[in-house]
Structure 1
């Protein structure tokens, strides 16, 4: 059973899947015109980086913290690192939900922005400030921002790119920020967009960020609590109240996500995989993995490689 979340009256309760995109190894990821032909409801997202999310077709609601936004085609949203947000979109086969998104590590982009102080300041606002509404409305396909976003269609996946090969993605983001900055300044002049305020990361977001950087080490709650200047008891209660699940369950889900990746992409032995996700006891790792996925690590790996062999055989035909 994977860790599940949904939002209810400004708090998160256990219901629907959490989709967590990590950028530890790849600083830029994207999808162009991803489509759903059925209702996309109560899906909670959490990303390590900044995300731009464009709705090309569809309508529904997005919840960010205690804010509920009605969204529709032509809306471009942005989400900050480790900011939980829930999407509920109406869709059918005849009127599917179509969206494109780009997620990137803001710290990776910073050096590319140094020659541009105005863009650096705008990027800091997107990244760290509190906005009344985290979206730009009415950006139809012919708008310069969206025409620029359409360049994603011709860009190769970044998963295997070298550091030098990542430069085009940085240039893409710089162009995106430049166009959004111009659009935002125009809206500000017309008093349509309140200036953002300094954003203070909540303790739960800071805890999730700490886990993202430390899940591969043996976990001690007191160490995390000390980092946040809280008592361990208070932190545990706060996390469960705001997220709707135990902090230990969230940590376990993050570790199992990484274990799945290692099982699929490497020939590491199970004890080595367990060690890489901060678990010293391989028997406990196997029990935890089966609890979260319904399968043993060995069976999960065999099934993945069998499916890969089938896909490869189909391509050869």
Structure 2
């Protein structure tokens, strides 16, 4: 079963690396977040990636960066003729922060991606993607050769982070809020997600969203599912529970109040929904932090 919080078992490793994973069957994805950073590199595929209430086109040459505890979802239209092929890495950013102090410019880029409140989530590598693929292939060969040697493993992981930072450097600007990346805009889905962001505390009905979009219930539902790979109720639940997790971590609010804050005022229903979505009860989740 897929839970909203999808912990990555690093087990004291600096990084988990997977090269050219191929999927030829249905890949609908699910809303989730990790406790660590994730970089996703698309070699083949068609679909979209949802992160920060925005939709980005999933296709060859795209690189995505997900911050720790950042809600995201990957939806790929997959068939034997159109597989989804990706490389990805999950890593603990604290493992590399101190080492990067030797390289101030790289550290600035790293912190911008890891901690910045910005729009840098998707990078179209364009003509430089051939270099990225070569770099990843070399890393894969080296990673296989060192096995479980801890020091060598860290050096290779650090080198990969540096190379990825250099690869996306042309798409980063030193000032927040500006970017040269060109995400594809799925206007209706993004409008729906923005509306939900403003009304998640309310008793949301599909009729209200359809009225705000000036569309029929059927049409707005179909548009949203086509563009995100999920239903509107699934997204509403994901956003509510993600906000509930943040409140559990950062406030001393009662479970009942948090349910009210996120638009689920029935305590029993809130606890059931939270456990089904996250995999544990709100109280146990709070104790984890």
Q: Note whether the superposition's TM-score is higher than 0.5.
A: yes
How does 1:187-206 map onto structure 2 within 5 Å? 192-193=180-181
TM-score between both structures, scaled by the size of structure 2? 0.62
Matches within 5 A, 1:19-34: 19-34=6-21
Contact kept? 2:16, 2:90, Cα under 8 Å: yes
> Which residue is 2:44 aligned to?
57
**Distance (Å, rounded) in 2 between the aligned partners of 1:249 and 1:44:** 10
Spell out, residue by residue over 1:259-302, the C-alpha distance to the aligned partner (whole angstroms, 9 max, x if none).
xxxxxxxxxxxxxxxxxx99xxxxxxxxxxxxxxxxxxxxxxxx
1:237-270 Cα distance to aligned partner (Å, 9 max, x none): 55686999315862539xxxxxxxxxxxxxxxxx
The two structures have a TM-score, normalised by structure 1, of 0.57
Matched ranges for 1:295-310 at <5 A: none
Question: What is the correspondence of 1:280-299 to structure 2 with a 5 Å cutoff?
Answer: none
List structure 1 runs of 4+ shifted beyond 6 angstroms. none
Determine whether 1:106 maps to 2:93. Answer: yes
Partner of 1:87: 74
State the shift of 1:108 in Å.
Answer: 0.6
CA separation of 1:159 and 1:251: change in aligned 2, threshold 3 A: farther
Number of equivalences: 220
Give the alignment partner of residue 179 of structure 1, picking from 167, 189, 194. Answer: 167
SS at match of 1:41: coil
Aligned equivalent of 2:134, options 135, 147, 163: 147
1:233 matched residue in structure 2: 256
Per-residue deviation at 1:144?
Answer: 3.1
Unaligned stretches of 5+ residues in structure 2: 183-238, 265-269, 282-286
User: What are the equivalent positions in structure 2 for 1:273-284 lying under 5 Å apart?
Assistant: none
How far 1:109 sits from its partner (Å)? 0.6
The answer as to whether partners of 1:149 and 1:176 remain within 8 angstroms in 2 is no
- Structure number with higher strand proportion: 1
Question: 2-side partners of 1:151 and 1:123: how far apart?
Answer: 22
Gaps of 5+ in 1: 6-17, 195-201, 210-223, 254-276, 279-317
1:89–1:230 CA distance, 2 compared to 1 (3 A): same
Q: Alignment RMSD, CA only?
A: 4.0
Q: Any conservation in 2 of the 1:19–1:43 contact (CA below 8 Å)?
A: no
CA contact (8 A) 1:77 1:135 kept: yes
> Contact 1:32–1:152 (CA<8 Å) still a contact in 2?
no
2 CA distance for matches of 1:22 and 1:58? 27
CA contact (8 A) 1:23 1:48 kept: no
Residue aligned with 1:154, SS: helix
Summarize the Cα distance change of 1:90–1:227 in structure 2 as closer, same or farther, 3 Å threshold. Answer: closer
With over 3 angstroms needed to count, the CA separation of the structure-2 counterparts of 1:234 and 1:143, relative to structure 1, is farther
Give the corresponding residue for 1:128: 115
Secondary structure at the counterpart of residue 280 of structure 2: helix
Residue in 1 that maps onto 2:157: 169
User: Structure 2 CA distance, aligned partners of 1:67 and 1:33?
Assistant: 25
Q: Contact (CA 8 Å) 1:55, 1:73: kept in 2 or not?
A: yes
Deviates more, 1:139-148 or 1:164-173: 139-148
Match of 2:232 in 1: none
Indicate conservation of the 8 Å contact 2:172/2:180, yes or no: no
Comparing 171-180 with 51-60, greater Cα deviation is found at: 171-180
Q: Which residue of 1 aligns with 2:26?
A: 39
CA–CA distance in structure 2, aligned partners of residues 204 and 107 of structure 1: 26
* Contact map agreement 1:22 1:48 (CA 8 A) in 2: no
